[in-house]
C-alpha cells in the first residue's frame, strides 16, 4: 500500500463507517419509477453510469436498450478500435504467437567475429526483444480488458465477458498461457458470451489456454508396467500419468457445481475420457490436437452416463452431457444471478431463469435478458446492494470522470495494488464478486488513494483534461453538490455521512471563492469529487 494514503483528507477516511454499514435499497425520493429502474439497470449492466446515460435509457425503454446491447455486433465502437489499434498481440492466434517468438529467437553468428563487431551487445539486444515478445500479450490483453470496459459502447457485452472470464478462469502467469490468452480473449470469450453454453464449454475445453492452465495437455492414460519398457523408444516425452485437474474443475467450477451429483470416481472417469486432449508441437504448436496414443481406451462411466470407446468423440459427448445437465443449469444460473442481481439473489428469479435456460438449451442471450427484465431484479431491496470489485471501481471511476487513458500500464499496477490484476488469478475459481471478499479497510484505503490520485493528476498515463468535471469549476460552489452528484453518482442522492463533510467545505467557500484563482477552485472541486468517489455510494452498485 502506498505511503501516501496517510495524506488523504480525514473526512474521506471517516466514510469507512458508511461503507461497512448494512447495504440498503435505493432512496427513491424525488425520482420517478422509470428513472430509478434505468439507473439500477445501468449500474449492473455497464461499468459506470455517465451523464446522460439514464435519460437515454428512459427514452429508449429498458427492453429496447437491453435488446440493443445484446445485439452488440451492430453497435459501432470506433473509440475502442482506435485505442487498441497499436496493441500488437490482440489479433494473434496461438500458432501465430509461437511463429512470432520463433522469429525473435537469437540466431548464432556464423564464422569468426567481424572487425568491430560486438556480439555480446547484439545478443543482449536480441534477448531483450525476445523477452518483450514473450511478455507482449501478458501486458496487452489485460490492458485491453480495462480499455474496453471504460470506453466501449458495447457495455453489456463487456460486463458479461468479465463474468465468463472468471467463470472459465485462466492465469497468464502460468508459463505458456500468456501465448494463448489473446486468442482466448478474442475467439473463446469474445465469440460465445451470448451464444449457447454448450458451444462455449466445448470451445474452452479445446483451447490451449485452458488445456495448459489445468494441465490436461499432459494427461495420459496410465500405462501398464510392461508398456513402460517401450516408452523411451516410441515416445520419450510420454510420462504415462493421468492428471485429474481439468476434469475436477470442469465439474466443480464450470458445470454442475461442487459435490453436486458426482464423486471422486466420476472425476477419474472424466479424466480418462479427456486423455489425449492436448496441444500440438512443431508446426501445430499453439493448436488443439487429439493424441490417440495418449488416450485411455475402453468404455467409461461419468455421473451415470456410459461413454462408449470413441477417442475424441468421448470427450465431446460428455461435455455436451454436462452442458445439458439440470445441475449445470441451476449452478450457472445462480452464479449469473449473484453477479447481476445480488449476493443472495431472489429464489423466484433464479427459478424462473432456470426455466428459460432449460427451454432455450442454455441460450446465454435469452438467459441474460431474462435476468435483466425480471421484476425481482428491480426490487428496492436489490438496489445499491452489490459491492464493486476493484476492477469495477477503477473502470467506473475512469468512465464517470471522463478520463483519457494514454498508457494503461500504470492503471494495471493500481489494480494489482488492489489485489485484482486482470488475468492473474491463480485459483481456478477466478475472482469473487461477493462483497465480503473486497470490503475491508486495507482495500478501501487503496481505493481512496486511487480516487485522490486520479482527480489530482497523479496517475501516469491518464489525463482529465477533457473531463466534464472541468466544466464545473466556473460554477458557483453552492451548486457543486448537485453537479458532482449528477456527474459521478448518476443523480443518486448520497447519505448524510457522505454529504456532511462535503457541505461543510462548500459552506466555507461561500465567502472566499470569488477571490480564488481558477486553479485554486479546481483544486477545491477535485477534493470534493474525491469525497464522492470514495463514498459508500460509489463503492456500491
**Per-chain mean pLDDT for the chain:** 89
Tens-digit pLDDT profile for residues 405-437: 999 999 999 999 999 999 999 999 999 999 889
Q: What is the pLDDT of residue 60?
A: 98
More confident: 101 or 189: 189
**Residue 280, φ and ψ in degrees, nearest 5:** -70, 170
Taking the C-alpha atoms of residue 148 and residue 79, their distance in angstroms, rounded to an integer, is 9
Q: Is the pLDDT assigned to residue 211 strictly greater than 60?
A: yes
Which of 128-142, 336-350, 387-401, 525-539 is least confident? 128-142
Q: Is the pLDDT assigned to residue 7 strictly greater than 80?
A: no
3-state secondary structure 86-142: CCCCCCCCHHHHHHHHHHCCCCCCCCCCCCCCCHHHHHHHHHHHHHHHHHHHHHHHH
Question: Of 21-30, 114-123, 243-252, 521-530, which one has max mean pLDDT?
Answer: 243-252
What are the sequence ranges of the domains in the chain? 3-60+387-539, 64-107+124-179, 326-382
The answer to whether residues 62 and 54 touch, using CB atoms and an 8 Å cutoff, is no
Taking the C-alpha atoms of residue 374 and residue 71, their distance in angstroms, rounded to an integer, is 19
Q: What is the pLDDT of residue 121?
A: 66
Q: Is the pLDDT assigned to residue 229 strictly greater than 60?
A: no
Residues contacting residue 213 through CB under 8 Å, at least 6 positions apart: 169, 170, 171, 174, 177, 428
Residues comprising the chain, all counted: 541
Average pLDDT over residues 116-141: 75
Report in angstroms the alpha-carbon separations of 224 from 21, 219, 230: 61, 15, 11
Average pLDDT over residues 276-280: 97
pTM: 0.91
Write out the H or E segment, with its range, that includes residue 289. strand 288-290
Q: Which three cell numbers stand for residue 432?
A: 469473487
116 pLDDT tier (thresholds 50, 70, 90): low
511 pLDDT tier (thresholds 50, 70, 90): confident
Q: Map residue 307 onto helix, strand or coil.
A: strand
Q: What is the pLDDT of residue 235?
A: 57
Q: What is the pLDDT of residue 233?
A: 54
Question: Of 355-359, 481-485, 509-513, which one has max mean pLDDT?
Answer: 355-359
The answer to whether residues 463 and 404 touch, using CB atoms and an 8 Å cutoff, is yes
More confident: 306 or 481: 306
Q: Which three cell numbers stand for residue 386?
A: 452489490
Taking the C-alpha atoms of residue 435 and residue 21, their distance in angstroms, rounded to an integer, is 12
Q: What is the pLDDT of residue 20?
A: 43
Amino acid at each position: 500500500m502506498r505511503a501516501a494514503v496517510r495524506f488523504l483528507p480525514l473526512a474521506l477516511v471517516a466514510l469507512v463507517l458508511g461503507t461497512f454499514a448494512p447495504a440498503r435499497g435505493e432512496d427513491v425520493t424525488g425520482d420517478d419509477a422509470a428513472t430509478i429502474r434505468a439507473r439500477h439497470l445501468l449500474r449492473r449492466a455497464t461499468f459506470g453510469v455517465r451523464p446522460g446515460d439514464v435519460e437515454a435509457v428512459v427514452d429508449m425503454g429498458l427492453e429496447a436498450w437491453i435488446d440493443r446491447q445484446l445485439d452488440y455486433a451492430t453497435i459501432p465502437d470506433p473509440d475502442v478500435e482506435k485505442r487498441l489499434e497499436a496493441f500488437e498481440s490482440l489479433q494473434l492466434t496461438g500458432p501465430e504467437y509461437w511463429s512470432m517468438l520463433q522469429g525473435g529467437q537469437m540466431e548464432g553468428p556464423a564464422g569468426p567475429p567481424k572487425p568491430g563487431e560486438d556480439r555480446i551487445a547484439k545478443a543482449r539486444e536480441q534477448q531483450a526483444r525476445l523477452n518483450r515478445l514473450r511478455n507482449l500479450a501478458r501486458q496487452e490483453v489485460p490492458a485491453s480488458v480495462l480499455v474496453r470496459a471504460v470506453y466501449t459502447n458495447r457495455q453489456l457485452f463487456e460486463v458479461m465477458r468479465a463474468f465468463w472470464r472468471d467463470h472459465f478462469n485462466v492465469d497468464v502467469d502460468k508459463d505458456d498461457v500468456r501465448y494463448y490468452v489473446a486468442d482466448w480473449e478474442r475467439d473463446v470469450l469474445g465469440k460465445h458470451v451470448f451464444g449457447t453454453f454448450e458451444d462455449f464449454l466445448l470451445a474452452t475445453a479445446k483451447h490451449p489456454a485452458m488445456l495448459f492452465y489445468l494441465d490436461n495437455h499432459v494427461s495420459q492414460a496410465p500405462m501398464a508396467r510392461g508398456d513402460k519398457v517401450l516408452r523411451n523408444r516410441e515416445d520419450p516425452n510420454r510420462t504415462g500419468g493421468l492428471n485429474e485437474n481439468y476434469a475436477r474443475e470442469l465439474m466443480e467450477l464450470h458445470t454442475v457445481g461442487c459435490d453436486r451429483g458426482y464423486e471422486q470416481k466420476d472425476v477419474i472417469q472424466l479424466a480418462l475420457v479427456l486423455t489425449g486432449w492436448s496441444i500440438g508441437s512443431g508446426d501445430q504448436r499453439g493448436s488443439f490436437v487429439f493424441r490417440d496414443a495418449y488416450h485411455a481406451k475402453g468404455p467409461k462411466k461419468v455421473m451415470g452416463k456410459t461413454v462408449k470407446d470413441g477417442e475424441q468423440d468421448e470427450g465431446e459427448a460428455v461435455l455436451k452431457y454436462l452442458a445439458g445437465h439440470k445441475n449445470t443449469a441451476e449452478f450457472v444460473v445462480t452464479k449469473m444471478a449473484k453477479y447481476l442481481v445480488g449476493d443472495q439473489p431472489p429464489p423466484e428469479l433464479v427459478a424462473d431463469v432456470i426455466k428459460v435456460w432449460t427451454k432455450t438449451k442454455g441460450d446465454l442471450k435469452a438467459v441474460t435478458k431474462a435476468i435483466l427484465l425480471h421484476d425481482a431484479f428491480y426490487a428496492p431491496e436489490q438496489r445499491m446492494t452489490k459491492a464493486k470489485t476493484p476492477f469495477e471501481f477503477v473502470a467506473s471511476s475512469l468512465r464517470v470522470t471522463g478520463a483519457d487513458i494514454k498508457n494503461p500500464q500504470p492503471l494495471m499496477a493500481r489494480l494489482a495494488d488492489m489485489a485484482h490484476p486482470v488475468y492473474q488469478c491463480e485459483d481456478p475459481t477466478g475472482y469473487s464478486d461477493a462483497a465480503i471478499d473486497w470490503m475491508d479497510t486495507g482495500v478501501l484505503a487503496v481505493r481512496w488513494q486511487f480516487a485522490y490520485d486520479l482527480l489530482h493528476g497523479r496517475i501516469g498515463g491518464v489525463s482529465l483534461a477533457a473531463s466534464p468535471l472541468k466544466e464545473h469549476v466556473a460554477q458557483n460552489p453552492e451548486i457543486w453538490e448537485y453537479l458532482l452528484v449528477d456527474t459521478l453518482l448518476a443523480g443518486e442522492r448520497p447519505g448524510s455521512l457522505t454529504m456532511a463533510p462535503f457541505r461543510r467545505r462548500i459552506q466555507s467557500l461561500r465567502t472566499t471563492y470569488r477571490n480564488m484563482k481558477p486553479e485554486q477552485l479546481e483544486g477545491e472541486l477535485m477534493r470534493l469529487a474525491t469525497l464522492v468517489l470514495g463514498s459508500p455510494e460509489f463503492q456500491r452498485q
